[in-house]
């Protein structure tokens, strides 16, 4: 069985305010779409992201990832059809179709929909309507509506792949969701219990509601790192992964990348997993002259294994020379590449210590770092 999730993110969604489509607006420190995509990681074999061709920078950003990209259609159904088509050669048997604006969907709910597909060709979460329902005209109640057997529809809506492809091909258009498309093709749709927290961001105030929901489950951790290496012979230093020409080099067991060591220790610190020395003992000859990238990658993988995502890191290099400023953009780029982060999640900056102390006397370079890790 091969599974996929199609996340429809091509809509303009301006009703939620902010002037930017809602899926690209910030929510608890990252974008709505980033949260939503992560919910499906590890639960399906492929994730398809359907993007509008108006979102060119976003295309560039996601092209480098493991996501399959598809172009949005003229309407939501068109976008879903393009997403389905992008999976054509992937031998997918089951597919989940999800609104990008539902970032709180739980692993439990996703799994329940997938499980229901063992016995049904289609399954989707629905919440029984519990409020009394009115019909209103001009601000007054003009009637009531029986609420028994009524459900509020949610996503992800799950289908056997071939069945939903056929259903979409045959549908004349105008359906409210994929369940309507499936039913029009005669598929029986199993109702899986929905989740009140799986709300769809629609109005401006929904951002605060979703942050409240996430806040109850989010584990935010900070870690700090500090490192010093002494100057010795050499004609360059390596700082945050970048070779910088200098009249002296830094001494150390590894490549002495003091900035990368501080960031690595900050991540270990946030995870309460000791420090570099503990994971890569200096007494072990195999780490002699090692590229510090090995240490940083290890810390990042450990975070991932423990279920944490790195939200941002900030590193300060302390030295009089070499001048860091001209190299800082390259350092940020190098560090973000190694950590698999976006450039706007990594800060590298520098300060002198006004010629005071050991850094002021140019006896060595010090580095401080902070890392913020999040488990949601
Ligand atoms: Mg060190």
Q: How many A from CA of 265 to the centre of ligand 1? A: 9
The mean pLDDT of the chain is 94
Rounded Cα distance between 171 and 153, Å, is 20
Output the pTM of the full model: 0.66
Rounded Cα distance between 360 and 319, Å, is 7
Q: How many A from CA of 332 to the centre of ligand 1? A: 19
Q: How many A from CA of 335 to the centre of ligand 1? A: 16
Q: How many A from CA of 307 to the centre of ligand 1? A: 26
The yes or no reply on domain 3-216 and CATH 3.90.550.10 is yes
Rounded Cα distance between 276 and 141, Å, is 67
Q: How many A from CA of 133 to the centre of ligand 1? A: 65
Q: How many A from CA of 229 to the centre of ligand 1? A: 6
Q: What is the DSSP string of 281-345?
A: -TTSGGGTT--THHHHHHHHHHHHHTT-EEEEEEEEEE-SSS--GGGHHHHHHHHHHHHT--GGG
Q: What does each C-alpha distance from 351 to 83, 200, 247, 324, 365 come to in angstroms?
A: 49, 45, 19, 9, 11
Give φ, ψ of 78 to 5 degrees.
Answer: -65, -40
Residue stretches of the chain with pLDDT short of 50: none
Contact indicator for 79, 168 with CB cutoff of 8 Å: no
- At 20 the pLDDT is 83
Q: How many A from CA of 203 to the centre of ligand 1? A: 49
Q: How many A from CA of 141 to the centre of ligand 1? A: 71
Q: How many A from CA of 296 to the centre of ligand 1? A: 12
Residue 256: both structure tokens together:
């002495």
Rounded Cα distance between 35 and 103, Å, is 6
- At 14 the pLDDT is 66
Domain residue spans in the chain? 3-216, 220-375
DSSP state of 44: S
Superfamily of domain 220-375: 2-C-methyl-D-erythritol 2,4-cyclodiphosphate synthase (3.30.1330.50)
Q: Which residues have CB less than 5 Å away from ligand 1 (the ion)?
A: 227, 261
Q: How many A from CA of 360 to the centre of ligand 1? A: 19
- At 80 the pLDDT is 97
Rounded Cα distance between 167 and 188, Å, is 12
Give φ, ψ of 178 to 5 degrees.
Answer: -75, -25
């Amino acid at each position: 069985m091969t599974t996929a999730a199609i996340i429809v993110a091509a809509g303009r969604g301006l009703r939620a305010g902010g002037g930017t489509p809602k899926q690209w607006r910030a929510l608890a420190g990252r974008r709505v779409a980033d949260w939503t995509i992560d919910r499906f990681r590890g639960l399906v074999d492929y994730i398809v992201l359907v993007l509008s061709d108006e979102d060119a920078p976003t295309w560039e950003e996601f092209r480098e990832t493991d996501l399959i990209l598809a172009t949005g259609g003229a309407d939501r159904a068109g976008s879903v059809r393009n997403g389905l088509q992008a999976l054509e050669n992937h031998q997918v048997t089951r597919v989940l179709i999800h609104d990008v604006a539902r970032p709180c969907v739980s692993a439990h709910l996703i799994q329940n929909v997938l499980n229901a597909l063992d016995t049904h060709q289609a399954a989707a979460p629905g919440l029984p309507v519990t409020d009394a329902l009115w019909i209103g005209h001009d601000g007054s109640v003009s009637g009531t509506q029986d609420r028994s057997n009524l459900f509020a529809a949610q996503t992800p809506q799950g289908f056997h792949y071939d069945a939903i492809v056929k259903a979409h091909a045959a549908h004349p258009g105008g359906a409210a969701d994929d369940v309507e498309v499936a039913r029009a093709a005669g598929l029986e749709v199993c109702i899986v219990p929905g989740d009140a927290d799986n709300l769809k961001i629609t109005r401006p105030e929904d951002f605060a509601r979703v942050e409240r929901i996430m806040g109850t489950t989010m584990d935010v951790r900070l870690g700090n790192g500090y490192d010093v290496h002494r100057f010795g012979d050499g004609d360059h230093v390596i700082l945050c992964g970048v070779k910088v020409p200098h009249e002296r080099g830094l001494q150390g067991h590894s490549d002495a990348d003091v900035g990368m060591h501080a960031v690595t220790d900050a991540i270990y610190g946030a995870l309460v997993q000791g420090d570099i020395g503990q994971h890569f003992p200096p007494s072990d000859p195999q780490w002699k002259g090692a590229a510090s990238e090995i240490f940083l990658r290890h810390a990042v993988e450990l975070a991932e294994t423990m279920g944490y995502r790195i939200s941002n890191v900030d590193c300060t290099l302390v030295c009089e020379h070499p001048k860091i400023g001209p190299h800082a953009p390259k350092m940020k780029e190098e560090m973000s590449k190694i950590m698999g982060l976006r450039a706007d999640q990594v800060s590298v900056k520098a300060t002198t210590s006004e010629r005071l102390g050991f850094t002021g006397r140019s006896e060595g370079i010090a580095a401080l770092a902070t890392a913020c890790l999040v488990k949601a």
